[in-house]
């Protein structure tokens, strides 16, 4: 069967796709991993009445009973295990299954009852719930109006209002009861189906202002939806976009991606995408197939390109899947890494106690193209030096005979030196041909790159930190990495956002203002929060900003 049919799910026992209706829904609103072919309980093979009485010779039984210990006692654990094995053999061979009832250790007797014995059947506890009826208490009639506030009031606010009103019986009501009733009433607004994904699909179809799509790639899937009003309004105006992902928003563990457009320094939401791994890979591990994330992000971004978006800058963190997808859709777009994430990555590398192996990836001949005064043999492995005198130690370099361990920690240790490196990196990050340097000189993008690489190399060389230099060159200063974060790459334009904080602020608003009221919310609830709370707020802010009413507009 095709893996991209939306009405089919993967059965891990059948190792095949089955129809959506073949899977039961659990209490959390999620489909089970096994189809209903494997959910049926095993029926007893025997239907006859067992009416026999037998005495067996213990020595002839196919199980080993315990022998006497040194103190003339019997090992109870071994005897119990032997009896259990014997009962299981009787079940498998004869079809009759027995349930253990009592054990008398003094007489060494074990009593089992047949499961088919109607007289010995256990009375199952009733699973029925209390019937509900219209309550005639005064408290109910006075509080019934609170139902209309479930969509706008929090449980804490409702509980405080109940305490302030001091209705009859208010002192017997707990905050947990208020939360439960609030959650039950609130769910009627966004709950469309027991299955969370199907409920989300129905919920999205009810909102005509957005378009939803389902994408598949390998063992991954996405549920994406696009805000039509903001896309139509901002296509001719916006030249900068940003993308980021967050986790922990729903009980299915799906990552949430968002694309925001920059409007006067704030972010306006354009599209959202929920992504997860819905089945094991070929190795039987719940891990994404290689390239699946990039393929899904490409499918997610392509409708924005088809709508007419052609951004000059695209902000992101250092996620390789996001970067690869952006390059496939917009090859000419300048990718701008987040300034905060870049500094954080370097700071975490300084604080890490793990050994690095960047010496194996450091090729001094490539670094010498950007830094003519670079010493080839300093901090480089002989096998990574260019073939010739440098590789065999016949050169004039001072470090030609230095023995270098491939793996070790970065040398920098003191906080002052770490801050110095971060300050140099920050200055390089903000350099631009349209901004003069400290001497009032306007430099080209190529000149800025060479000066910045040489400055960082000279500082590391003066301290003797060759591992620090190899890490910075391999991960930040070689040309392929420099083009991702340096603002000087585009000589004609300066990007307005320096970070992806417009998206991070968007996540904070979702989690701290809305989702914190729910314990592991369903995906349809998260979509309802986005469509009924975040998107209308963003649309109102967009209109006020386009009307140049900056005093009324609030940041995202």
Rounded to 5°, the CA angle 339-344-350 comes to 135
Are 118 and 111 spatial neighbours (Cβ–Cβ below 8 Å)? no
Return the closest-CA partner of residue 9 out of 1, 37, 20: 20
> Could you say which DSSP state residue 68 is in?
B
Q: What is the pLDDT along the chain (556 residues), one digit of tens a residue?
A: 444 456 788 888 888 888 888 888 887 778 888 888 775 554 555 556 666 677 777 667 777 765 545 555 667 777 888 888 888 888 777 777 777 888 887 777 888 877 666 565 555 554 444 444 444 444 433 444 444 455 556 777 888 888 888 878 878 888 888 888 877 787 888 888 999 999 999 999 999 889 999 999 999 999 999 999 999 999 999 999 999 999 989 999 999 999 999 998 889 999 999 999 988 888 888 889 999 999 999 999 999 999 999 999 999 988 999 999 999 999 999 999 999 999 999 999 999 888 888 888 999 999 999 999 998 888 888 888 887 777 777 777 777 777 788 788 888 778 899 999 999 999 999 999 999 988 899 999 999 999 999 999 999 999 999 999 999 999 999 999 999 999 999 999 999 999 999 999 999 999 988 888 777 889 999 999 999 989 998 999 899 988 887 776 665 5
What is the predicted pLDDT for the residue at 74? 63
Residues facing 227 on adjacent strands: 210
DSSP count for the chain of H helices, then E strands? 17, 11
- Nearest alpha carbon to residue 224 among 452, 429, 527, 440: 527
Residue 453 has which token pair? 């690489």
pLDDT at 186: 76
Question: Where would I find the H helices in 23-75?
Answer: none
Residue 50, pLDDT score = 60
pLDDT at res. 143: 42
Residue with tokens 């090992």: 75
What is the spatial distance between Cα 454 and Cα 368, in angstroms, rounded to a whole number?
10
The answer to whether the beta carbons of residues 258 and 244 sit under 8 Å apart is: yes
Specify burial of residue 317 (Cβ count, 10 A radius: 0-12, 13-18, 19+): buried
- Rounded CA-CA distance 326/156 in Å is 43
pLDDT of residue 1: 45
Token reading at 263? 């409007």
Distance CA 470, CA 456 (A): 11
Secondary structure E strands in 356-418:
none
Return the closest-CA partner of residue 329 out of 374, 285, 297.
297
């Amino acid at each position: 069967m095709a893996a991209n049919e939306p009405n089919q799910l993967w059965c891990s026992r059948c190792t095949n796709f089955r129809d959506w209706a073949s899977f039961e829904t659990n209490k959390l609103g999620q489909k089970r991993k096994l189809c209903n072919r494997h959910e049926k309980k095993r029926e007893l093979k025997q239907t006859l009445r067992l009416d026999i009485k037998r005495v067996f010779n213990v020595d002839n039984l196919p199980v080993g009973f315990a022998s006497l210990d040194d103190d003339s006692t019997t090992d109870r654990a071994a005897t119990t295990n032997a009896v259990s094995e014997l009962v299981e053999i009787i079940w498998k061979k004869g079809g009759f299954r027995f349930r253990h009832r009592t054990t008398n250790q003094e007489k060494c007797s074990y009593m089992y009852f047949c499961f088919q014995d109607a007289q010995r059947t256990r009375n199952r506890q009733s699973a029925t719930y209390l019937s509900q009826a219209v309550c005639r208490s005064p408290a109910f009639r006075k509080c019934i109006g609170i139902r209309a506030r479930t969509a706008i009031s929090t449980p804490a606010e409702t509980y405080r209002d109940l305490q302030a009103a001091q209705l009859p019986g208010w002192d017997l009501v707990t905050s947990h009861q208020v939360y439960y009733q609030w959650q039950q009433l609130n769910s009627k607004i966004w709950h469309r189906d027991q299955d969370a994904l199907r409920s989300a699909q129905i919920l999205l179809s009810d909102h005509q202002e957005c378009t939803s799509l389902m994408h598949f790639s390998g063992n991954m899937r996405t549920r994406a939806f696009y805000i039509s009003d903001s896309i139509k309004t901002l296509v001719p105006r916006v030249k900068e976009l940003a993308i980021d992902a967050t986790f922990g928003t729903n009980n299915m563990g799906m990552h949430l991606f968002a694309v925001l457009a920059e409007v006067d320094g704030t972010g306006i939401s354009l599209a959202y995408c929920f992504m997860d791994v819905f089945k094991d890979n070929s190795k039987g591990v719940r891990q994404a197939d290689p390239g699946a994330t990039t393929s899904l992000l490409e499918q997610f971004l392509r409708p924005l390109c088809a709508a007419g978006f052609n951004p000059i800058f695209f902000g992101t963190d250092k996620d390789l899947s996001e970067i690869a997808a952006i390059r496939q859709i917009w090859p000419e777009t300048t990718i701008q890494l987040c300034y905060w994430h870049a500094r954080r990555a370097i700071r975490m590398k300084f604080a890490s106690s793990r050994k690095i192996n960047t010496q194996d990836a450091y090729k001094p001949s490539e670094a010498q193209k950007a830094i003519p005064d670079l010493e080839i043999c300093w901090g480089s492995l002989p096998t990574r030096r260019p073939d010739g005198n440098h590789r065999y130690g016949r050169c004039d370099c001072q470090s030609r005979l230095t023995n270098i361990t491939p793996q070790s920690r970065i040398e920098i240790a003191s906080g002052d030196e770490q801050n110095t490196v971060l300050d140099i990196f920050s200055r390089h990050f903000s350099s631009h041909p349209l901004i003069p340097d400290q001497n009032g000189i306007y430099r080209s993008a190529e000149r800025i790159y060479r000066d910045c690489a040489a400055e960082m190399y000279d500082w590391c060389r003066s301290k003797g930190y060759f591992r620090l230099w190899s890490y910075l060159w391999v991960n930040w200063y070689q040309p392929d990495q420099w083009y991702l974060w340096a603002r000087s790459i585009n000589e004609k334009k300066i990007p307005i956002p320096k970070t992806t904080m417009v998206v991070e602020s968007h996540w904070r608003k979702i989690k701290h203002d809305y989702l914190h009221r729910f314990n592991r919310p369903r995906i349809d609830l998260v979509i309802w929060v986005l469509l009924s709370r975040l998107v209308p707020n963003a649309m109102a802010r967009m209109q006020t900003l386009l009307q140049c009413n900056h005093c009324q507009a609030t940041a995202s």
